[in-house]
Amino acid sequence: MYPFTYQRAATLEDALAPLLNDPEARALAGGMTLLPTMKMRLAAPTQLIDIARLPELRGIQIEADAVTVGAAQRHVEVATDPALRAALPALAELAGLIGDPQVRARGTLGGSVANNDPAADYPAAVLGLDGTVITNRRSIPAAAFFQGMFATALEPGELIRAVRFARPKRAAYAKFAQAASGYAMTGVMVAQFDHGVRVAVTGAGPGVFRWTQAEQALAARMAPEALDALTLDASGLNADLHASAEYRAHLVGVMTRQAVSQLAGSAR
Ligand SMILES: Cc1cc2nc3c(=O)[nH]c(=O)nc-3n(C[C@H](O)[C@H](O)[C@H](O)COP(=O)(O)OP(=O)(O)OC[C@H]3O[C@@H](n4cnc5c(N)ncnc54)[C@H](O)[C@@H]3O)c2cc1C
């Protein structure tokens, strides 16, 4: 590794100063993405500012209509928190499907959302559960936050403090994992609200997106058969050594049906 400095921030204010003053400084949360990226020489920050223990980024709040999760909550904490699991089981399930036990023990919600890997799981939850990303400066609705592959609305020196997820009547997440890494070849969050249905897809395209045709069909009838006449257009979807765009389009239909089938047992 090349030289860089490491400092553990004690307060959010302490963390923000170097991030604002040095464009090459980076926040370090779980390190599950940033450290491998540095090892591969794809990133070369001058300073790492450890934000993993900041009290301002920790905690889980359950309200009647929302669940707010601190950015520094690790995947295992989201997967196993009893109150969260009772209030929003689909989110806990999703967190429990991320990577492997080591990754879940270190990786954080904020790091995953800030990184916006096109195959990451959390973006499907943020978009599908009508989420809002809360930073040290503002609140950003999911649709405005995710801006394509590894791109978000975050500005230099802006940190995610928490994500607020709306509580649906019921929701479920189905994922077809890439066998080696665990990342989503395709993951689909289906959420039924009083005002409609949201279907958010990760892994299949260059960024998370809503399958609006499926949302309309499921709003009319919440059953796997409601999707029978639908096929997602493969143009624009990812094609790589793991799967073609057509395969991924098919997989989106299969995972959406699986999520809808799970919904029966997931009412809150
Ligand atoms: C082997 C392996 C398998 C994995 N499998 C999966 C999987 O199946 N599904 C999945 O979704 N992910 C998977 N991941 C990624 C994992 O979820 C990471 O934890 C996550 O992408 C990054 O979280 P982190 O806390 O480690 O962030 P870090 O690596 O510390 O940071 C990542 C980026 O986010 C920035 N950042 C961190 N926190 C904040 C914040 N609060 N505000 C603003 N910016 C911030 C950092 O500066 C950095 O640029 C896998 C990773 C590995 C190594």
- What the chain holds in terms of domains, given with CATH numbers, is 170-263 (3.30.390.50)
Measured in Å, residue 56 CA sits from the centre of ligand 1 at 19
88: closest CA among 164, 163, 170, 161? 170
Low-confidence spans in the chain with pLDDT less than 50? none
Give the pocket of ligand 1 (CB within 6 Å).
26-34, 36, 51, 57, 71, 98-99, 103, 106-108, 110-112, 114-115, 117, 120-122, 154, 159-160, 181-183
Q: Can you give the pLDDT at residue 6?
A: 97
| Shortest-distance Cα residue to atom 19 of ligand 1 | 107
Encode pLDDT of 78-126 as tens digits.
999 999 999 999 999 999 999 999 999 999 999 999 999 999 999 999 9
Measured in Å, residue 108 CA sits from the centre of ligand 1 at 6
Q: Which atom of ligand 1 is nearest to the CA of 37?
A: 29
Buried-exposed string 2-29: b where 16+ CB fall within 10 A, e elsewhere: eeeeeeebeeeeebbebbeebeebbbbb
Q: What is the pTM of this model?
A: 0.96
Measured in Å, residue 27 CA sits from the centre of ligand 1 at 11
Q: Are 106 and 72 in contact (CB under 8 A)?
A: no
Which of helix, strand or coil describes residue 243?
coil
**Residue found by looking up tokens 């809808």 in the block:** 260
Q: Can you give the pLDDT at residue 1?
A: 63
Measured in Å, residue 112 CA sits from the centre of ligand 1 at 4
| Shortest-distance Cα residue to atom 5 of ligand 1 | 99
Q: Which atom of ligand 1 is nearest to the CA of 33?
A: 29
Q: Can you give the pLDDT at residue 200?
A: 98
CA distance 53 to 74: 11
Q: Can you give the pLDDT at residue 265?
A: 59
For a ligand 1 pocket test, name from 20, 28, 32, 138 the mutation site with the most ligand atoms within 8 angstroms of its C-beta.
32
Measured in Å, residue 122 CA sits from the centre of ligand 1 at 10
For a ligand 1 pocket test, name from 53, 112, 113, 116 the mutation site with the most ligand atoms within 8 angstroms of its C-beta.
112
Measured in Å, residue 119 CA sits from the centre of ligand 1 at 12
Look up residue 154 and give its DSSP letter. P
| Shortest-distance Cα residue to atom 27 of ligand 1 | 111
Measured in Å, residue 231 CA sits from the centre of ligand 1 at 32
Q: Which atom of ligand 1 is nearest to the CA of 35?
A: 29
**φ/ψ (deg, to 5) at 224:** -55, -35
Q: Which atom of ligand 1 is nearest to the CA of 36?
A: 53
